[in-house]
Every structure is written in structure tokens, then in C-alpha cells.
Structure 1
Amino acid sequence: MIVTDELARRACADRGLKVPEEASPASILAVAETDVADLGSIVAAALAHSPAARTLLAALEAEQTVPETAVRDYYDRNQDRYLTPDALRRGVTPFDGATPQDIRPYDEVRDHITRELLTAAGRHAFFGWLDQSRAGVTYSHGHEHPGDPSHPDHEHRH
């Protein structure tokens, strides 16, 4: 987390991004369990504790674009996510007898899908940035990350 925060601070400075003041312990963000699962515990914790990491993630997300064809493709491939409440109550599935009335219209869910895909693209960009940034980091002997498989004793604990 400390390394991610420092790398994010440097990236924000390089990009001319203003990082908000340090968060007080009372204002540390809580991380939703789904975010921990999607992001991984280290990245989720770094985002919860590092205003610089959140600023960088927001900037990377803002740089993303999602073509309309990708949004439509996502909708077409994930019809189960857009069943109407009535269809769900009746036990309808998109694979077994769903009618067009059982699925929420594309225009109704398009903006939501676009936001989800932009979030995913921003996270993907953040992971790429983090992997590339960490590649040049050398930890002092004995202070390697406990789960780093490149370390000969990657199961040690601090």
C-alpha cells in the first residue's frame, strides 16, 4: 500500500493532478467486498487509504472511451442482467422462453452499461499503470512484499 501510494503521488505530480489533502483516519473510505474481489485486497486497500491513488484512478477512468458497439454487444451477451422484475418473479431466463417484454429495453440500461464499462476500463488502465510502475521498484532486503512470488521466500511474514 505504501509503495502504491508513493507511485501514485509521483504519477499525479507528473500528470499535474492535484491530490486532495491527506485523509484523516475518520475519513478513510470503506471498501465494498465486491471491490475487494474485483480489485484485489492490496489495490482496494491502497485506494481506500490513498487520495493520490484515487485521483490517478479517476484520471485514468476519465481518459477511457467505450464505443457504442461495445455497449450494445455487452447488452446482447448479458440479457440475464436486464430481465424485468416481473420476469424474475415468474422465473424467466433469457435462455428459456424470455420474450422481448421480459428484458429491459437497451435505451433504458445503456447509460448504466456505459458507466460499468468505463469503470472496468479505468481499472484495467490503473492495473497496467501499477504493474509497469512497480516493475522498477526494488525493496530493501527483508521488506519484500510477503506474497511476492519473485522473492525466494514469498511465504514469509512481517
Structure 2
Amino acid sequence: MTSDPDDDALSWDGDSEAERPTLPKGWHAVGRGSDGVDSAAVADQVAEAPPSEDAAAAASAPEVDEELEGLSTGMLLALGAIGGVYLLYTVGWLIGGLRMQAGALFLIPSVMYTATLVIAVAAPALWFAASWTLTRGARSWVRLLALIAGVVLLVPWPFVMSGGMAA
């Protein structure tokens, strides 16, 4: 018996004509080898097969009509740009705060200054996280507006006023 190597790759040892699947009623086999498919036999096998556990679990679970929507490309780009600005703000607050430390320790205790520096450095990340979670169910423009408000409010003034140079 000569067989095509392509057909051998798609079969198991011991496959016989009797073991080949057949299609359910209304289905039509297409392509080479479709003349040996018995649609009535496959329909009988499908009807006799007991439901699997996965099918039973899926049937008992409530259907969810709403699917989660992904973010649009424009919104992803805006989030990336604003996230980058927040990251730069974090670095700006750290550099600006450390440069002001010598003059500020003359007026306030070091523990107080360190605590406020930590809060100032963490503020951009906290604003981003808060606006992301609090606007979860809102429209995209509301989320974007909350993030832009943080960009305006959280400017690292010690860094900006010194021009990034040593004071």
C-alpha cells in the first residue's frame, strides 16, 4: 500500500475506515477524502455523547452580556505620555527636594523634612493610581481629565525654580 506522506502525518497508527469521524446532519465534507465521511454516523455519536463537566459548568454559570472594553490606541498613547510625565515629576521632586535640604533643615527638623520629601516624591504615583481606580467606571475623557489635572497640580516647583541646577 502506498500512501501520501502528508496523509500519514495526519493519522494515528491503527486508524481504519470504521474509526474515521463523520459529520452531523447538514454538514458537508470538503476536500480530499470527504467521500468517505458518513454524516449520519457522526450525528448519532454527537447525540449519544454525555455532556462533559465543562459543558455542565458553563450551562449553570450566568451569562455575562457585557464584555470588558479595551482602551483605544489614542487613550493608550495618552496614558503612556502622562505616565511618563508623572515619572519625570517623581524624579523632579526627589532632585529638587534633596537640593533644598540644606536650607530647609535650618527651619524645620530633619524628621519632618524627610517625611514631607517622601510624600512629595510619592505624590505623582499616588495621584496616577487614585485617578485610575476612582474613574474606572467613567468615560475615557473623565479619566484623562483627572490625569491632566494631576499634571498641572503636581509640578515639582523646587526643581523648576532652580532650573535643574544646583542652588
**TM-score over 0.5 for the pair:** no
State the structure with more CA Rg: 2
Task: Report 1 or 2 for greater relative contact order, CA contacts < 8 Å, sequence distance ≥ 6.
Answer: 1
